[in-house]
Structure 1
Amino acid sequence: MSHELHHFAMGTWVFFLAYLTSVVGSFVGLTCARRAATAHTGSNRSRWTFMAALSIGGVAIWLMHFIGMMGFAVPGSSVRYGLGLTIFSVVLAVGATWFGLWLLDADVPWMRSVSPTSRLGIGGVIMGFAVAGMHYNGMAAVRIQGSLDQGTTFVLYSILIGVVASITALWLSRNAEHWLVRIPAALVMGCAVVSLHYTGMAGIDVTVDPAAPSPAGMTVMSLLFPGFIVGVGVLAVPVLALMATPTSEELRREREVAAWVGAAADRDERQA
Structure 2
Amino acid sequence: MEGTVDGFRYGAVTPVAAYLMACLGGALGLRCIVRSLINNTESWKPGWLALGAASIGCGIWTMHFIAMIGFHVEETRIGYHVGLTVLSLAVAIVVVGIGVFIVGYRGTRGSLALAGVVTGLGVAAMHYLGMAALRLNGRIAYDPFTVALSVLIAIAASTAALWAAVTIRGFLASLGASLVMGVAVSGMHYTAMASVSVHVHSTTSSWAGDTPTSLLLPMLIGPVIFLLLAGVVVMFDPLLVLGDGDWNRTAKPQTPVTRPTAGRSWSRN
Summarize deviations over 1:194-241 as a string: whole Å, max 9, x none. Answer: 111001100111111227753365433234333442223212332222
- TM-aligned CA distance change 1:271 to 1:263, over 3 Å: closer
What SS does the aligned partner of 1:76 have?
A: coil
What SS does the aligned partner of 1:2 have?
A: coil
What SS does the aligned partner of 2:233 have?
A: helix
Residue 238 of structure 1 is matched in structure 2 by: 230
- How much has 1:14 moved relative to structure 2? 1.2
Conserved in 2, the CA contact under 8 Å of 1:93 and 1:130? Answer: yes
Aligned-partner residue type, residue 88 of structure 2: S
Conserved in 2, the CA contact under 8 Å of 1:66 and 1:220? Answer: no
- How much has 1:244 moved relative to structure 2? 2.9
The answer to whether 1:203 aligns with 2:195 is yes
Question: Of 134, 147, 155, which aligns to 1:155?
Answer: 147
Aligned-partner residue type, residue 94 of structure 1: I
Question: Of 186, 200, 213, which aligns to 1:194?
Answer: 186
Distance in 2 (CA, whole Å) between partners of 1:266 and 1:74 is 85
- How much has 1:67 moved relative to structure 2? 0.5
Residue 16 of structure 2 is matched in structure 1 by: 16
When you count helix as a share of all residues, which structure comes out higher? 1
Residue 31 of structure 1 is matched in structure 2 by: 31
Query: 1:31-50 residue pairs with structure 2 within 5 A?
Result: 31-41=31-41, 43-50=43-50
Conserved in 2, the CA contact under 8 Å of 1:143 and 1:216? Answer: no
Aligned-partner residue type, residue 233 of structure 2: A
- How much has 1:140 moved relative to structure 2? 0.5
Query: 1:159-174 residue pairs with structure 2 within 5 A?
Result: 159-174=151-166
Distance in 2 (CA, whole Å) between partners of 1:266 and 1:3 is 89
Summarize deviations over 1:31-80 as a string: whole Å, max 9, x none. Answer: 11111122344641111111111111111x10000010011001121000
Conserved in 2, the CA contact under 8 Å of 1:143 and 1:217? Answer: no
- TM-score scaled by structure 2? 0.87
- How much has 1:156 moved relative to structure 2? 0.3
- TM-aligned CA distance change 1:69 to 1:255, over 3 Å: closer
- TM-aligned CA distance change 1:218 to 1:100, over 3 Å: farther
- TM-aligned CA distance change 1:101 to 1:145, over 3 Å: same
Unaligned residue ranges in structure 1 (runs of 5+) = 108-114
Summarize deviations over 1:111-167 as a string: whole Å, max 9, x none. Answer: xxxx81110111111211121111011000101111111111111000110111111
The answer to whether 1:83 aligns with 2:82 is yes
Aligned-partner residue type, residue 86 of structure 1: T
- TM-score scaled by structure 1? 0.86
Residue 110 of structure 1 is matched in structure 2 by: none
Aligned-partner residue type, residue 80 of structure 2: Y
Distance in 1 (CA, whole Å) between partners of 2:149 and 2:267 is 73
Distance in 2 (CA, whole Å) between partners of 1:265 and 1:145 is 86
Residue 220 of structure 1 is matched in structure 2 by: 212
Residue 239 of structure 2 is matched in structure 1 by: 247
Distance in 1 (CA, whole Å) between partners of 2:228 and 2:70 is 27
Aligned-partner residue type, residue 25 of structure 1: G
Q: How many residues align?
A: 261
What SS does the aligned partner of 1:148 have?
A: strand
The answer to whether 1:121 aligns with 2:113 is yes
Residue 146 of structure 1 is matched in structure 2 by: 138
When you count strand as a share of all residues, which structure comes out higher? 2
Conserved in 1, the CA contact under 8 Å of 2:10 and 2:70? Answer: yes
Conserved in 2, the CA contact under 8 Å of 1:29 and 1:56? Answer: yes
Distance in 1 (CA, whole Å) between partners of 2:117 and 2:80 is 28
Aligned-partner residue type, residue 221 of structure 1: T
Distance in 2 (CA, whole Å) between partners of 1:51 and 1:259 is 33
Distance in 2 (CA, whole Å) between partners of 1:130 and 1:50 is 15
- TM-aligned CA distance change 1:12 to 1:245, over 3 Å: closer
- How much has 1:19 moved relative to structure 2? 0.8
- How much has 1:96 moved relative to structure 2? 1.4
What SS does the aligned partner of 1:3 have?
A: coil
